[in-house]
Structures are given as structure tokens and as C-alpha cells.
Amino acid sequence: MQDSYAIELLNITKNFPGVLANDDVTLQVKKGQIHALVGENGAGKTTLMNILYGLIHPDSGQIRVDGRDVSIRSPRDAIGSGLGMVHQHFMLVPSYTTTQNIFLGNEINRLMIVDQKQAEREVQEISEKYNLLVNPKAVVRDLPVGVQQRVEILKVLQRGANTIVLDEPTAVLTPQECDELFVIVRSLVADGKTVIIITHKLSEVKAISDCVTVLRRGKVIGTVLTKDVSKEELASMMVGSNLPSTGERKKLDPGEFILKTKDLVVRDKFNTDVVRGVSLSVHQGEIVTIAGVEGNGQMEFVEAVTGLRKVFAGRAFVCDQDITNLSPDKVRQCGLAHVPGDRIATGTNVKASIADNLIAGRHRQLPFSTRGWINSKEKQKFSQDLVDRYKIKTPSLDVRAKTLSGGNLQKVVAAREMSFDTPLLVVVQPTRGLDIASTGFIHEILLEMRNCNKAILLVSTELDEVFELSDRILVMYEGEIVGEFTPENVTREELGLYMAGVKRQSRAESES
Amino acid sequence: MSVKKRLQDVFEQTGSLRRAIVSILLAMVIGALIVYLQGDNPLVAYTALFRSAFGSRASVFQTLANSTPLIVTGIAAAITFRTGVVNLGVEGQLYMGGLAAALVGVYLEGVPSFLHVFLALLAGCVVSFIWAAPFQWLRVQFGANELVTTTLSNYVAILLTTYLVAYPFMKPGAPLAMTKNVLPSAYLPRLVSQGRLNLGFIIGAVLCVFVWYVINRSSLGFEFRMIGANKRFSHYVGIRVKRMQVLAMGLSGAAAGLAGAIEVLGTQHRFIQNISPGYGWVGVLVALMASNNPIAVLPVGILFGALKTGGLGMEAATNVPSELSDVLQAIIILFFAANVVFPSLRKESVLKKKHAEIAHPEEV
């Protein structure tokens, strides 16, 4: 029955430079249901929802609301079609009251004067109707996060939304607040609303949703009824895929440790611990992988080790030197190179030329710089050499980096960082969004570096990559290492359970 | 489609120049309308304006003289903008540098002329460097927005220098707050026998080329460009972003101070209260319109200098007041900043069209 769908996204394709964020994605959400959209970060969930909400325009595809074709060009259109979105990061004015926030841009006017009393009465009404208890007069700044989220939901309801999208709604909530949220979501559905929940927490999917759609690398892997599928099956749908194997692995005895962290704690800007006491070491000739679903503290851990983020407690050492809270240039001097997960904002300067990107970091060293002046002959020679060696496809060395595809951009980052020839390489998601060939190429280089006795710390969410490259696998969940394995003594499914937080080793177990 | 795409590329590459030309033409049209509504003949007014700015050798020299402080302050602003820093204290830094140069020019005696000039210019640069840099330090250390602090610093600098020349360093018996005249050995040599055109213009022109060269060919400039384009990347590859930004602010201040020093040593021959009618602010606009390209600062500075020279001449020759120049300048900047030209070739609208194709495939 066509008309029983509240929202239909048909054959949506969206290509960002270098990344196919949505590849022929079709999502159909039945009226009055709770539909979960799961997948790792970067799988395309948020892109898809932003398309639905009119923040991004798809390259192709069709959106239907209640069976009618609609053209959603802006959030205003989306709101007009009865859509509401509660973003992961709340969009509230902290110094305004609950009511002022809910009616922001939509104030009730009486003779040009905002009728605050009336607005407060309406807030009271909706909040009682849906069990969304808030104080209409409270200032948002003073409210706990869970209540701020209710304000967001109220805002959406006040604007007449029939379908509500919740983007990672539990990411910032305590377990108790989560339970309260689920009660609210159920009461919304009982009233005939439709809810889409974006998440990567599988236990929540099981707890609340009627139906699940799994996205991976921009594609729909499948849509299933929640009751027909186990958490384990969902985990393998989220992370599994097959890649051709590449490279050979020399037998090496692990040498001395190059990177060591001791009880490292990192806080995010909301002052919550996102890395909670991680101790690990990486030795010469070894690839140690931190596996895990993204958003479990891996990024913060790496940033802390590489000097991009403050360490709150604990210490980190590179080649026996204490690098805790040193700046990136000092950390690099100790012998670290870093391929960051975010190649566009951090790994490259897309506004600068390929050559400038390749010599960055060396621009004060001989022979690239003599007495403060850049030696452009040496610069061209060095860059050309890297472009040839890493098979970077570019019309010239002088074009801006932003003209390159994602795979080639990644090769630029890899070429620069690996050419530093440091004892330690920290590599985050090196193959995200890359095609099979580029992925194989990057894997080959990483194995080659390992065979040259380098120490490599890899962060990956792709299980295939994890199994292909690792000498040791550490699983990170909610800021902690919950398991340590070698690729031989663990199965893909088992690893998926650790990544999803279903299982964990005790400390003693992981140390044995 | 491919032709259109190629056109887009061309427009993207020559974007600033095209925007500049179209902005100037649009401003002239609106200016003409204003003149017409006022009851004058726009053609006559523009002819007078152009003739007074470029009509004779003397007027060209005058134009170049008027453009000198705009070019140097334009460079000052461009240096910081390239580095992702906003220096809106150029005006005040000009005052500080101007006073420093004047004091060296007045009180340092018995040195050869070239050395005297050099030391006075240097004093202007150094004092303004020291004056400007701490504001960026406050930014990187404590987060005090440099846009605000440098803007406010103008008041401090202008009032402080005015106090200094009104009391401690005031020329006795002068009708206005001013220093004594600088010694003739500290004069910047005039380039022409009549008019105010002096070595300062050459210094400004050389500065444009030099700064361009530093930004594009030196390790320092490399870091400036990288920071300006992507601060996070710069930090990540090991550039000491905070330190470089403080340095950029200092160097920008030094250039602004140089502008003040040139004004004192080349034109006024003393530091006088209200020495600048807002050169620093026009310099910020010059940098904006030159898209922070030091080489482009030169023609843009000359353009604004010509508007000023031409405006005065036009007022003398016709009924149109010289303020029309300021109006034209403002409209040019407005159009340039608003980027209103050729909307159909802008990328966003291409996106919109594409979207329309998707939404209504049968119509396209």
C-alpha cells in the first residue's frame, strides 16, 4: 500500500568530492512507526537526513511525503511538509527561556507585541499531551541536557511536525534520560506521529524501533523488521564487507616499543571523559589496530597522542620521550607522523597546491628552504617524485588540492606523512570512501612500512581492514579498551559484539 | 555544458578582477544617476574627474602622491588578512608610527641624510610593530577577539599621540597640536619639482612587490598562506600557528607605521593632530578589493588615490561636490563585497538549476 508510507526517499544519490555519501539509497518509512537508521559514522545516515530536511540537495532521487512527490529545497519546505528534525547538537539560544526558544521565529503576536503568556500556555499544553515535562519559564542554559532535548522536540511539535527525525538522540544522554526519551518517543507514536531515529547503538535499536534500515558506505544493506533480527546480525550488517587481500606479511619479532600510553584520559568540550584511561603500546614492526564503532573515543585518543588535543590525565611516550601535551610540531620532532581521519579539514589544505601540500612540514628544512626562501626547484622535484611513487592522479603539481578526488587526496596525505620516515605512524581511517584499488594500494604501503620495522597505530571501523592489516587488535568502546586480540584468535562476529558493547573482557583477561 | 563549465573556470580564476571591473562600472552608473538627479551633466562631471586625476603629468603625480598612504596601509591590512587575522587598528598604528618617525626626525641630529631617513622610517615600523603585536597575543592566549581589540586600539593610539604632540612634544606657539618640523636631513626626497610626490611612493610600490615575493616564495610566507587557508591543517603539520599570527599582526602594524612615517617624512614634515583622514580605513578597503594580493594593492590604491584627486578637480571645474568620490568609492566596495555580478555563472545557482532538473525533469 503506497499511501501507508509517511516518508519515502527513493533512489537518492549524493556525491561529495571524492566520497559517494549516498549511493542509490531508498528508505521508506511507514506511518506511525519508529524506524531506526543505523550505520557507522560516514555510512551516509546524516547526509540522507540532511537531504530529507533540505539542508543538502541530492544529485538525483525523489522524496515523497504521504505518497506525494515533494521538492524540498530548504528546511522551511521540510517543515512545511510536516517534517521536524532534532539535531545531534541542539540549536537553542541558551539565554532564552524554554518558551522563547520553542516559539523562536514563530512568536505569537498581539498588536505587534509578543504574547508570552499565551505562548507559555501552549507550551504547557503540548508538554502535558506528550509527557514532555518542561518548565515553560526556565532559562535553557540552566536545564540539563535531557530537558534541553525535550525543548527541541517541543519546538518541532509546535511547528506541526508529523514525522520527527532524531539524529543520534541518545549520544548526550545518561541511561536514565534515555529511558525517559523512549517513553516520550512511544507516546509520540501513540498519537500518530512517525519517528526516524538515527543511531549506531544497537541495543537502542532493539529497545525502541519497529523497523531498521542499515547503511554502509553510502549504500542500503537492508531493511528489516526489528523483531526478526538479532543484535549480532545487525552488527555484522553494519561493519562487514569483502575486500581483495593485498600485500604480504613478513614474520617479525616485535622490537622495542615506540608508542606507549598510560591511563590516558581525554575530555571533550562538554567536560565529559571521552577517553577513559587507555593504556597501550605499539612496538617496532607491528600494526596495532584500534577497532570500534566510530564515536567511541578513538578520534580523541589519536588527537591527544598527536598533540592536537589536550590530555586531561595520564601520560604518552614516543620513542621514550614524554610527549604528553606537547604541541604537534614538538610531537613530530619526537618521531611521529600522522594520517588523520579527516583528510579535507585536517590532512590537507584544499586551497593550496598539491606541491605545497606535499612539502608542508618540510618548508623550513633543507633543501626545500635555504635562508628562509623556498627553493622551488627542490619543491617541484620532491613533489613530482611523490606523485609518481604514490600514483597520485593530478593534471599538475600546481592545481589546488580540492580538485583531487578523495582517493587521490588521501594519497597526498599518505605520501607526505609516510615520506617523513618516522619510527611511528598513526593512521586513522586511511581508506574511508576510497575505491577498492586505492584501498588496496594504501594497505600495501602500510604493510610495507611495517615490514620496514616501523610501528603503526591504525584506527579503523572497517572489520575487513582490521583483519587484513593488524598484528594486534584492540577494541575501543565508550572510551575504554574492552578487548585485545590477535586476528587469528577472534572471529569477525565476536569482534562485532565487542565493538557494539555487548561483550567485554575483564582487565585480567585482556592482560593475560 | 562543457563550454559553460570552462567559462565558469575562467571566471573563477579571474574572479576578483572581473568583480572589480564590474563593481567600478556599476558604481559609475549609479554615480552618474546621482549627478543627474542633482541637475548636473554626468558626462561633464566624469570628464572633469578623469582629467583632474590623469589629464596631465602634474595630475598623475598628484594621484600617485595621494595613493601612497593608501597603498602602504593596504599592504598592512593584506598581510594580516592573508594569515587569517583581522587588523582593524591600521589607522592607530599609522599614528603611532608617524609620531615615532617625527620624533626621530626632529630630535636626532648630525647624522647623514640617508641614515636619518632610514632610522626615522625604521622607528615608525618598530614602534607600530610593538604596538600592534600584543593585540594578537591577547587573541591567541586569552581569546580576546582581535577585531574588537584592534578597532578600539585606534582610539587609544590616536588620543595618545594627540596628547603627546599637544603637551610634551608640542611645537611652542603653534596654533594646532603638532611637533616641530623634522630636520631637512630626514625629508623623504621629492620625485618631482612641483607637488607632493616623493620617495614614499617608490617605497610603497617596492613594498608591494616585496611582500608579494615574501608571501609566495618564503618559508615565512608559506606558513602565513597555510594558516590563512586552513588553520587546523597548519597546526597539524607542525606550524606554530599562534606565534606566526602574532608575528603577522606585528608586521602588519609595522607596515601601517611605515605609512605614517612616510606621511610625516614625505608630505607633512611634522606630526600634526588628525594627520590621517582615515588612510588606515581606506587601506582596509584597498586590501579587501585587492583580494589581499599585495601586487593588486598597487593598482587599487592608485584607483582610490585617483578618485580623491579627481574629486577635488571635479569640484573646482563643475558644481559637483568632491564628496562624489567618497560615494563612488563606497559603492564600488559595496558591489565588490556583495559579489552581485554574473549571478548565473555562480556555482550555487548551477546547483539550484540542477536541483530544478531533478525536481521537474519533464520541464527541462
Q: How far is A328 from chain B (nearest CA, A)?
A: 5
Q: Is A96 exposed, middle or buried (0-12, 13-18, 19+ CB in 10 A)?
A: middle
pLDDT for residue A276: 92
d(CA A435, CA A406): 9
Instruction: Give every residue of chain A whose pLDDT is below 50, as ranges.
Output: 1-2, 241-245, 508, 511-512
**Phi, psi (degrees; rounded to nearest 5) at A194:** -115, 140
DSSP A489: G
- B351: chain A residues, CB-CB within 8 Å: 57
**pLDDT one-digit tens code per residue, B169-198:** 888 888 888 999 999 999 999 998 888 899
- B220: chain A residues, CB-CB within 8 Å: 372
Answer whether B218 sits within 8 Å of A373, measured CB to CB.
yes
- To the nearest whole percent, how much of chain B has pLDDT over 70? 89
Query: Residues in chain A whose beta carbon is closer than 8 A to a beta carbon of chain B?
Result: 57-62, 71, 73, 306, 308, 327-329, 332-333, 338, 340, 345-352, 356, 360-361, 363-364, 369, 372-374, 376
User: Hunting for cell 594519497 — which residue is that?
Assistant: A411
Answer whether A346 sits within 8 Å of B354, measured CB to CB.
no
Q: Is A32 exposed, middle or buried (0-12, 13-18, 19+ CB in 10 A)?
A: middle
Question: Is B8 touching A (CB cutoff 8 A)?
Answer: no
Neighbour-count burial for A389-402, b at 16+ CB within 10 Å, e otherwise: ebebebeebeeebe
Torsion (CA) B170, B173, B174, B175 in degrees, nearest 10: 120
Find the helix packing angle between B294-317 and B57-82, rounded to 10°: 140
What CA–CA distances, in Å, run from B194 to A206, B48, B190, B259? Answer: 88, 21, 9, 22
Strands in A60-65's sheet, in edge-to-edge order, are A19-30, A5-16, A60-65, A68-70
Q: How far is B321 from chain A (nearest CA, A)?
A: 43
- Would you place residue B355 in the very low, low, confident or very high pLDDT band (cuts 50, 70, 90)? very low
Which residues 6+ apart lie within 8 Å of B265 measured at CB?
B101, B105, B117, B120, B121, B182, B186, B187, B188, B200
Give chain B as a 3 state SS string. Answer: CHHHHHHHHHHHHCHHHHHHHHHHHHHHHHHHHHHHHCCCCHHHHHHHHHHHHHCCHHHHHHHHHHHHHHHHHHHHHHHHHHCCCCCCCHHHHHHHHHHHHHHHHHHCCCCCHHHHHHHHHHHHHHHHHHHHHHHHHHHHHHCCCHHHHHHHHHHHHHHHHHHHHHCCCCCCCCCCCECCCCCHHHCCCECCCCCCCEHHHHHHHHHHHHHHHHHHHEHHHHHHHHHHHCHHHHHHCCCCHHHHHHHHHHHHHHHHHHHHHHHHHHHHCCCECCCCCCHHHHHHHHHHHCCCCHHHHHHHHHHHHHHHHHHHHHHHHCCCCCHHHHHHHHHHHHHHHHCCCCHHHCHHHHHHHHHHHHHCCCCC
Question: Is B233 touching A (CB cutoff 8 A)?
Answer: yes
* Contact yes or no for A454/A285 (Cβ under 8 A): yes
DSSP A250: -
pLDDT for residue B356: 41
pLDDT for residue A468: 86
**pLDDT one-digit tens code per residue, B202-228:** 999 999 999 999 999 999 999 999 999
Torsion (CA) A228, A232, A236, A238 in degrees, nearest 10: 70
Q: What share of chain A is helix, strand, coil (3-state, %, to 5)?
A: 35, 30, 35
Three-state DSSP state, A237: helix
pLDDT for residue A123: 87
User: Hunting for cell 517513553 — which residue is that?
Assistant: A183
Q: Which of B9, B210, B220, B233 to mutate to test the interface with A (most CBs of A within 10 A)?
A: B233
Q: Which of B236, B347, B352, B358 to mutate to test the interface with A (most CBs of A within 10 A)?
A: B236
Cβ-nearest to B219 among A327, A347, A364: A364
d(CA B308, CA B305): 5
Q: How far is B238 from chain A (nearest CA, A)?
A: 4
Asked whether the predicted pLDDT for residue B344 surpasses 80, the reply is no
* Contact yes or no for A102/A154 (Cβ under 8 A): yes
Three-state DSSP state, A25: strand
Answer whether B229 sits within 8 Å of A349, measured CB to CB.
yes
d(CA B224, CA B25): 33
- Please name the residue ranges forming H helices in A350-405: 354-359, 376-389
- B354: chain A residues, CB-CB within 8 Å: 57, 59
pLDDT for residue B363: 34
Which residues 6+ apart lie within 8 Å of A228 measured at CB?
none
The helix or strand, by DSSP H or E, that contains position A498, with its residue range, turns out to be helix A492-499
* Contact yes or no for B71/B204 (Cβ under 8 A): yes
- String of DSSP letters for A432-467: TT--HHHHHHHHHHHHHHHHTT-EEEEEES-HHHHH
- Would you place residue B307 in the very low, low, confident or very high pLDDT band (cuts 50, 70, 90)? very high
Which residue of chain A comes nearest to B357, CA vs CA? A60
Query: Topology of B51-311 in CATH?
Result: ABC transporter involved in vitamin B12 uptake, BtuC (1.10.3470)
Question: Is B234 touching A (CB cutoff 8 A)?
Answer: yes
Q: How far is B38 from chain A (nearest CA, A)?
A: 39
pLDDT for residue B361: 36
B residues 199-228 near A, CB within 8 Å?
217-220, 222-223, 225-226
Cβ-nearest to A360 among B237, B240, B351: B237
Answer whether B238 sits within 8 Å of A373, measured CB to CB.
no
Cβ-nearest to A57 among B232, B239, B355: B355
**Phi, psi (degrees; rounded to nearest 5) at A414:** -60, -45
Question: Is B29 touching A (CB cutoff 8 A)?
Answer: no
What ipTM, to 2 d.p.? 0.80
- B233: chain A residues, CB-CB within 8 Å: 345-349, 360
Which residue of chain A comes nearest to B348, CA vs CA? A57
- Chain A and chain B share a number of CB contacts under 8 A equal to 80
Answer whether A345 sits within 8 Å of B240, measured CB to CB.
no
pLDDT for residue A1: 42
pLDDT for residue B270: 94
d(CA A160, CA A49): 19
Least confident of A96-110, A302-316, B16-30, B240-254: A96-110
pTM (2 decimals)?
0.72
Answer whether B236 sits within 8 Å of A338, measured CB to CB.
yes
- State CA B299 to chain mean position distance: 11
Answer whether B222 sits within 8 Å of A374, measured CB to CB.
yes
Smallest CA-to-CA distance from B317 within B47, B89, B115, B108 is with: B47
Q: Where are the domains of chain B?
A: 51-311
Question: Is B353 touching A (CB cutoff 8 A)?
Answer: no
Q: Which amino acid is at A174?
A: T
d(CA B298, CA B296): 5
Least confident of A18-27, A265-274, B157-166, B341-350: B341-350
For chain A, counts of helices (H) and of strands (E): 17, 24
Answer whether A57 sits within 8 Å of B226, measured CB to CB.
no
Answer whether B220 sits within 8 Å of A372, measured CB to CB.
yes
Q: C-alpha cell of A56? A: 543538502
Answer whether A352 sits within 8 Å of B223, measured CB to CB.
no
d(CA A208, CA A210): 7
Q: Which of B222, B348, B362 to mutate to test the interface with A (most CBs of A within 10 A)?
A: B222
- To the nearest whole percent, how much of chain B has pLDDT over 90? 73
- A58: chain B residues, CB-CB within 8 Å: 358
pLDDT higher for A119 or B353? A119
pLDDT for residue B340: 53
Three-state DSSP state, A397: coil
Which residues 6+ apart lie within 8 Å of A346 measured at CB?
A308, A340, B232, B233, B236
Q: What is the CA radius of gyration of chain B?
A: 23
Cβ-nearest to B233 among A57, A346, A363: A346
- B235: chain A residues, CB-CB within 8 Å: 308, 327-328
pLDDT for residue A509: 54
Smallest CA-to-CA distance from B158 within B89, B106, B79, B76 is with: B89
User: Hunting for cell 541495543 — which residue is that?
Assistant: A203
**pLDDT one-digit tens code per residue, A217-246:** 788 988 999 988 887 788 778 766 444 445
Answer whether A369 sits within 8 Å of B219, measured CB to CB.
yes
pLDDT for residue B349: 41
Q: Which of B215, B237, B352 to mutate to test the interface with A (most CBs of A within 10 A)?
A: B237
Question: Is B230 touching A (CB cutoff 8 A)?
Answer: yes
pLDDT for residue A437: 67
pLDDT for residue B6: 59
Domains of chain A: 2-82+162-238 (3.40.50.300), 92-160 (no CATH), 257-335+422-511 (3.40.50.300), 350-420 (no CATH)
**pLDDT one-digit tens code per residue, B44-102:** 999 999 999 999 999 999 999 999 999 999 999 999 999 999 999 999 999 999 999 99
d(CA A291, CA A239): 11
Find the helix packing angle between A406-419 and A376-389, rounded to 10°: 120
d(CA B220, CA B227): 11
* Contact yes or no for A178/A186 (Cβ under 8 A): no
d(CA A283, CA A286): 6
**From its phi and psi, is residue B269 left (phi > 0), alpha (psi between -120 and 50) or beta?**
left
Per DSSP bridges, beta strands A455-460 and A286-291 are parallel
Cβ-nearest to B229 among A347, A352, A363: A352
Answer whether A374 sits within 8 Å of B217, measured CB to CB.
yes
What CA–CA distances, in Å, run from B69 to A119, A405, B244, B332? Answer: 57, 45, 26, 19
Q: C-alpha cell of A57? A: 540537495
Answer whether B239 sits within 8 Å of A61, measured CB to CB.
no
Q: Which of A342, A357, A365, A373 to mutate to test the interface with B (most CBs of B within 10 A)?
A: A373
- A374: chain B residues, CB-CB within 8 Å: 217-219, 222
> Which residues are A315's β-sheet partners?
A262
pLDDT for residue B5: 56
Q: Which amino acid is at B84?
A: G
**Phi, psi (degrees; rounded to nearest 5) at A191:** -85, 5
**CA triple A291-A295-A297, angle to 5 deg:** 70
